[in-house]
Structure 1
Amino acid sequence: MTRTRGLTRPTLASTVGTALEWYDFSLYGTASALVLSKVFFPSGNDTVATLASLATFAVGFFARPVGGVIIGLLGDRFGRRQMLFVTLLLMAASSVLIGCLPTYNQVGVLAPVLLVVLRVFQGLGAGGEYAGAMLLSAEHAHKRFRGLNASIPSVGNAVGSVIATAIFFLFQGLLSESAFLSWGWRVPFLLSVVLAAAGFIIRRKVEDSPEFSEAVRERGVVRGRFTEMLRLSGRRVPLAMLMSIAPNVLSYLPSVYALTYLSKTVGAPAWIGLVGIIIANLCKLVTIPTAGWLTDRIGGRRVMIIGSVAGTILVYPFFWMLDTGTPVVVWAGLVMIFTLCCDMTLASQAGMLSGLFDVRVRYTAVTFSREITGAVVGGTIPFVAAALTDAGAGQPWLVCVYSGVLCLICAVGTFFLPEVRRQADTRPAAATA
C-alpha cells in the first residue's frame, strides 16, 4: 500500500471541510461569551447570566462524547468519509436554527431550553468531526509525514474560528448595540447554510481511508466494536484521555473565558479580545504545521510534554498581560498561550492519537478518549474559571492554579504513553506498552 509523501489531497480537503464546520462551533463560543447572556437569559444579575451562558457552552461538550462514540462506531464500520457528511449536516442545521431562535423577552424560559437542545445537536456533530478529519488525513499519509498530515485539520479549526470571530466582530462593529442584540448577532449563524453547502461540495471529492479499507479486507470488521476497542487498546485509552487535557485547557481558557475576563473583570472593550483571537488564529496557520512537522522529527510525546509544561508556567503571566488591558500586550498574551503553547499540544495530540490504536477501532478509540476529556475539561473550563475568579474577588490566581495543575496532569499522562512516530502504518505497537 503506497502513501503520498508530504501533504495529501485528502488532508487539504479535510482541512477545508473542518474549517467550514468549526466556524459553527467557534461562533457559539464567541457568542456565549459576549451576547447570549443578554439575549437568552433574564436581566438583573450579569454574573448569573454570564455563568448560565457559559454553561450552555459546556452542554455542547457534554454531548460531544455521545456523538463521538456513535459516529466513531459507525466510522469504524462504514468508513471515515461518510461520517464527515453526517457531522457537517448536524453542525450546519443546528447553527442555522440557533440564528432563528426567539429571545427570552419573547418566549421566556423556552428560549434557553431551545438553545440548549440545539447546542446538544451541535455537540453531537462536533464530537465526530475533528477525529474523522484527522484520521482521514493521517491514514492517507506516508508514515514519515503522518504527524504533519494529522495536525493540519487543526489549521481548519483556526481558519473557521478566524472567519467566525471576524464576521461576529464585523457585525458588532457596524451595528448599534440595540440592532446587534436585536438581529445582528443572528446573521453569522444563518451564514452557516452557505458554508455547509461549500463543505459538501469539497468533501464529495475525498476518497475514504486506504489504510482502513485494507485492514477491513485483510482482517474484517471488528464485531462488538466498543468492547473490542477497550480490549485492543489496553491502558492507552485512559492515558490518551489524560493526554487530551492540556489541548482543551490551552484552547478554551484563552479563546472563550479570556473574552469574558477582559470584558467583565478588566473592563476592556470587546474588540480587543476579538482582534486578539483573530491574530492568534492567523498565527496558527504557521505554528500548527510547524509543530506537526516537529512531531515527525522528535516525536509527539516530547512535543506534548513541552507544550503542557509551558502552559503551566505561562498561565499566570498570561492573566497579568490580560489585566493590563493594553491591546498589544493582550494580543501577545493570547498568542503566547492560544498559539504557541496550545499548538504544540494540538499537533502532538493529533499525531499520537492517529497511531496509538488498531486501525479497525481507531475512530471509536480516538473519539471516546478525546471527547470525554473535552467534555470534562474543555466544556467546563470557561464556567469554572468564571466561578474561580468570582471566588478570588476578581483575581485570577485560583484559575492559574487550576489550569496549571491540569496541564501538569496531562504531561504526566503523556509520559507513560509509547512513542508512535516510527511505527508501521496499520499496526500500532502492543496495546500493553
Structure 2
Amino acid sequence: MTGTEPGAVRPARQLLAASVGNAVEWYDWYAYTYLATYIADEVFPKSADDSLVPLLSTFAVFAVGFFMRPVGGLLMGAVADRRGRRAALTVTILMMGASSLLVGVTPTYAAAGLLAPVVLVLARLLQGLSVGGEFAASTTFLVESARPGRRGLFASFQYVSTTAGQLLASGVAELLVRLLDDGQMHGWGWRVPFWFGGVLSLAGFWIRRGAVETRGAAAREERPGLFDALRSHPRASLLIAGITAGGTLAYYTWTSYLPTYAELNADVSKGDALLAGTCSLAFFGLLQPVGGRLSDRWGRRPLLLFFGLGFAVAVVPLLHALDGSFTTLLLVQLAGMVLLTGFTSISAAVNAEVFPARVRAAGIGFPYSLTVALFGGTAPYVGTLFKDIGHAGLFPWYVAVLCLASSAVYWRLPETAHRRLET
C-alpha cells in the first residue's frame, strides 16, 4: 500500500467512500440516458426553426459525454497523482453534483431558445469530465486501499457500485413515469431525478471527506506532468487499451444495447426487454465480488481469458438464440453476465497493477476512457448501423472478433495478482 500505515486504513470506510460516490456518479450519468426522450422534447423540439438545434441535439446526446471522458481521465488522473486520490474523488463528485443540478435547471427551448441546448451541452460536458475522472481516481483509491491478497475483491466494487447507480437511475425514472402523467413528466417530472442526484452528490461528498488518503505526501511532491504516464510508459498505455477494448464492447452490448437489439432483431416486447435487463443487472452486481475474490486466489489471467475466449466463442450463438420470448432473453443475458464478470470484476485491479503509483491514476484514466469512448460508447450505434444496412447478423461477429483480439493481450499479460503493488 502507498502513503498510509496499514493500521490507519479502515477497509470498510474506504470501500464505502469509493463505492457510494461511484454509485452517485453513475446514477447521474444513467439518469440522463433514461430520460433523454423527455429532455429532447423540451430542449431540442422538432418544430424549432433554428437549424443549429438538431445539430446540437445530436452532439449533446450522442457525443459530448463520451468525448469528455478521456479528457476527464487525463485531467482528474493528474490531480489524483499530484494532489492525492481523495482530492480527485472530492472534485469529481462535486462536478457531477453541479452538472446534475445544471441539467435539472436547464431552461426549455420555448423559454430560452438556443440557450437551452447550449446549457445542456455544458452540463453533459461536465458529466463526461466527472465520470472519466471518477474511474481514474476511484480505481487507484480502491486498489491502494486493499490489504494484501484482497486487491481483486476491492476492485470488484467498482462495478458493484456502477451497477447500483444504474439500477437506482432506472428505478427512479420508472417510478416517476408510473406516478406522473405524460404532461407532468414533460413539464417538470424529468427534472426531479437530477435534483435528487445533486442531493446524493452532497451525501457522497460528506462520506468521502472521512476517507484515508492512499498516497503519501512525499510521493505527491514528485508532481508528475500531465502526459508523463504516456511518455514514460507507452507500452503500459497500449496495454490498458488492449485489455479494455473487448471488455468495454461486451459490457455496453450486454448492459445497455441488448434490450434494444432484442427488440430490433427478435421482436421482443419493450417491457420484456427492460425487465430482463433489470433482472440481469441485479444478478451481475452480485457476481462482481465473487469474480474479484476468485482472481485473488487463482490470478487475473484465468478470469480474463475466461471472459475473452468465452465471449468470442459464445456471443454469436447467444445472440442468434434470441427468439422473442422473455425466458430466452433472460437466460441469454444471464449467461453473458457470467462471462462478462471475468473482465469487469478485476479490470480496476489489472489496470492499477500495470502502472507505478507516481502516474497510476493518469496512466489508467486516459487510455481506458479513450478506449471506452471508441468501442464501448459506439456499441449501440454500430449495432444499429449493421441493422440499417441489412446485415444485423454481423454485429455479434464484430463483438467476437474484438474479444478474441483482447484475449491475445490477456494471454501474454504477466500475472500480477500475487505481486506487491508497485509504489
Q: Same fold (TM over 0.5)?
A: yes
Contact 1:88 1:196 in 2 (8 A): yes
CA–CA distance in structure 2, aligned partners of residues 397 and 81 of structure 1: 46
| Alignment match of 2:33 (pick from 12, 29, 35) | 29
Contact 2:81 2:223 in 1 (8 A): no
Q: Does 1:197 align with 2:221?
A: no
**Aligned residue runs from structure 1 range 311-330, under 5 A:** 311-320=311-320, 322-324=322-324, 326-330=325-329
Q: Deviations over 1:69-99 (max 9, x none)?
A: 1111111011000111111111122122223
Aligned to 2:51: none
Report how far residue 60 of structure 1 moved.
0.8
CA–CA distance in structure 2, aligned partners of residues 29 and 415 of structure 1: 36
Q: Deviations over 1:309-342 (max 9, x none)?
A: 2222333344345551x333323333333x3232
CA–CA distance in structure 1, aligned partners of residues 323 and 101 of structure 2: 36
Range that drifts further, 339-348 or 313-322: 313-322
Aligned to 1:250: 250
**Aligned residue runs from structure 1 range 210-289, under 5 A:** 212-213=215-216, 217=218, 221-262=221-262, 268-289=268-289
Taking structure 1 as reference, are residues 30 and 415 closer, same or farther at Cα in structure 2, changes over 3 Å only? farther
Aligned to 1:345: 343
CA–CA distance in structure 2, aligned partners of residues 247 and 7 of structure 1: 28
Q: Deviations over 1:27-84 (max 9, x none)?
A: 223334x65555544549xxxx9x9669724421110111111111111011000111
CA–CA distance in structure 1, aligned partners of residues 100 and 404 of structure 2: 35
Q: Does 1:14 align with 2:18?
A: yes
Report how far residue 305 of structure 1 moved.
2.2
Report how far residue 8 of structure 1 moved.
4.1
Contact 1:39 1:181 in 2 (8 A): yes
Taking structure 1 as reference, are residues 7 and 313 closer, same or farther at Cα in structure 2, changes over 3 Å only? farther
Contact 1:134 1:151 in 2 (8 A): no
AA aligned opposite 2:352? S
Contact 2:57 2:117 in 1 (8 A): no
AA aligned opposite 1:247? G
Q: How many residues align?
A: 413
CA–CA distance in structure 2, aligned partners of residues 23 and 3 of structure 1: 32
**Structure 2, unaligned stretches of length 5 or more?**
48-53
AA aligned opposite 1:290? V
Matched residues, percent identical? 33
After superposing on structure 2, the runs of 4+ consecutive aligned residues of structure 1 that deviate more than 6 Å are none
SS at 1:166 equivalent: helix
| Alignment match of 2:193 (pick from 165, 168, 188) | 188
CA–CA distance in structure 1, aligned partners of residues 241 and 272 of structure 2: 34
Aligned to 1:354: 352
CA–CA distance in structure 1, aligned partners of residues 262 and 107 of structure 2: 28
Report how far residue 139 of structure 1 moved.
0.7
CA–CA distance in structure 2, aligned partners of residues 11 and 332 of structure 1: 31
Aligned to 1:142: 147
SS at 1:151 equivalent: helix
Range that drifts further, 264-273 or 189-198: 264-273
Q: Does 1:376 align with 2:374?
A: yes
Q: Deviations over 1:172-222 (max 9, x none)?
A: 23333444344333222221122112111211111110xx21xx53x6633
CA–CA distance in structure 1, aligned partners of residues 318 and 32 of structure 2: 24
Report how far residue 278 of structure 1 moved.
2.4
Contact 2:43 2:109 in 1 (8 A): yes
Range that drifts further, 18-27 or 326-335: 326-335
CA–CA distance in structure 1, aligned partners of residues 331 and 34 of structure 2: 19
TM-score (norm 1): 0.86
AA aligned opposite 2:131? A
SS at 1:101 equivalent: coil
Aligned to 2:334: 335
AA aligned opposite 1:358? P
